[in-house]
Structure 1
Amino acid sequence: MTVKLFVGSTEVASVSSNGSGIWTANTSALTDGIRIIRAQAVDLGGRSSAASNAINFIIDTVAPVVSSVSASTVDGTYGSGSVINPTVTFSETVTHTVAPALTLETGTSDAVATYSSGSGSATYTFAFTVANGHSSADLDYVGTGSLSGTVRDAAGNTAVLTLAAPGAANSLGSNRNIVIDGVIGTVTTVSSDLANGIYPATTVVDIKVNFTRAMTVTGTPVLALNTSPAKSASYLSGSGSSTLIFRYTIATGDTAADLNYAATGSLTAGTIKDSAGNDANRTLPGTATSNSLGGSKNIEVAGNTQTPSLSVNVSATNAYVGTAITPINVNNSTGNDNTNDGRAITYVCVYDETVNGTMDSGGTPC
């Protein structure tokens, strides 16, 4: 028996059935689209049966293509730890047998966004987490071949995964304005505007910690110092800039031969972040390096010294630290003494000839 197939009134195939009445037909006459097919049997005597009930077919030989790449993540700047969700839209509904992935241009180390959801629809969603070091002024994929995996439509056609050129229409960079800033700010130098010298109790020491980028401070970070006893400088100002100021006031009894922070990990407490929300790398330059406080300055903390105490009719022009000096012999115009911590004090003896030998700072040398 012969079986003929018709689309409308047009015969598109004619095949013979086997002894069980089973038949198979192959034809290239059908083009893509919805097609209504009917079958009609013809016996050896040439007699034809009535046409069968109609069967609807969808003919699909066209492979899916990528129509656009975008992101469900809103435009903005994103720092380390942020999750970004790129999306890939196909020309039709698709599924996959090998999960797709999208390679993104994120600086020296490219990120790979992995499949998250969307199988059974025309739009796939991907995800990646911004890592330290990732950077992009306008996030895009690496190139036209950055989408991998095996994706097919319902007819089994394998999708063409070629993307628009980066920055071109329908690319991620064109559709979104996402800035990736995973670059971590670091400390470059620690110094002070205070002149080198020896400083007693009540002296205010402002210490400058310089970063590679502007930082925003919340709370009160502190900088542990190498003083004895151990003291710290507390955050004072500078939030929003690359230089943060910490203040330390020398207390009675504090000493340090060369003021410095205690260790490379001495910057603690509070939060220090850049504009993208990245936590600063607080590691300080080595304490023996030229970029450290001690390496860039020579500030001696002398909080254990005392103000000189002079006898009623003598004065010392250069003495500012130490214990009481020994009584000055008015017959000598100059002399030397020592403070309680061994520092030399030089004094000058003067008197006022017009006031019966009374000593004052406006007199003449003895």
Structure 2
Amino acid sequence: MFHAYCVVYGLLMSGAAWQPEEYAEYLWRTPRVANIDAEATASLRAELQDETERILRAGLLAPLRLSYADEPHNAYWLYYERGRTITTLAYAYPYLTAEQQAAVRAYAARTLADAKHAPYLPGILGPEDGTPRALHGRPVAVGRYASEDGPVPTLHVLYGLWLYGDRTGDWKTLERYWDRIKARYLEGITSEPILYGQMGAHVAAARLAKRFGDAETLHRAREALTADFKEGRDAARIAARLTGTRFARFEAPRNRGYFPGDCWIFLDACPEVLRFLADTQRAEVLRRTELMKARYPLWWLHQAPYFTRWTGDEGVGVTPELIGMIHPVERWVAETDAPRLAQAMRSTPVGIGDCYWIEALVRTIEAHGELSWKPVE
């Protein structure tokens, strides 16, 4: 009897269950890269290590304040999500020095234990919670804050926790916080806006639950992923969710022309979710991002002097979100080749710990290798 129970439980925890999962290909496979061209990526790796060192020396970082308009009260904020930097460091981890890798593990442990920065805490960071990201180092908190524009999608940070465990092998640190991580997930999927970017939290929660033997949370994550993927087969339905987020301000008639395609829905999307989009609606995803690229041909150039209302009326310049929207689509949906992805890295990051730029750098490095989708271990 006990043996029979073990067999049934093992099937449930293995992802097999009694019938094939509809989206198992995206839930239980992840990208692996081998044989990266060391010569072609040498300068990219050096740059990645330099940018990572800036983060490690600075410590826990405050949100990034941008103000490209003539109204200081219209400041625009990025990287306000608690624990957002763990995702970036996890992506970078395989390409760092041994000393930096040890420092990353310590950084993650410090973040998870912090009373403000831990990614399992609800809400967002305050404008002065951490070391300033601006290179001048002066704390400036003037201006309307991110939360004043409406609910902010943040659940994507949970994918970064799974990625951290996957790339470092430091599962013990994550397991200590599993009860709080799963509580954050279960609360978030019922109360927070879920765009394509946040659907990676379902993937992360399922994988962590499976690893830590939590059958109930695994079941909940599978159900949530199935529901969002079914609706997500129509990008217009996910775009409609923008009205309940901070990005609704860009939908206003006087702003909409500057932000065609509703590409906010792709921001923070993980490779598995983008693979799902490539398989189910590739043409539509590329149509939307091409609209944005037509509006901003130098989409990869941070602070490019386009007239836009991104950070306020009469503003000139784009934010790192633009590369955060488009570069992952180029890699995982358009399947742009490595040399063209590398061209996008001719720009520079904005301040310390520019997550979207650094993650684009990692994607570019990995594009110089051989990609395969492997079962999650």
Greater CA radius of gyration, 1 or 2? 1
Higher strand share: 1
TM-score, with normalisation over the residues of structure 2?
A: 0.18
What TM-score do the two structures reach when normalised by structure 1? Answer: 0.19
* Greater relative CO (CA pairs within 8 A, separation 6+): 2
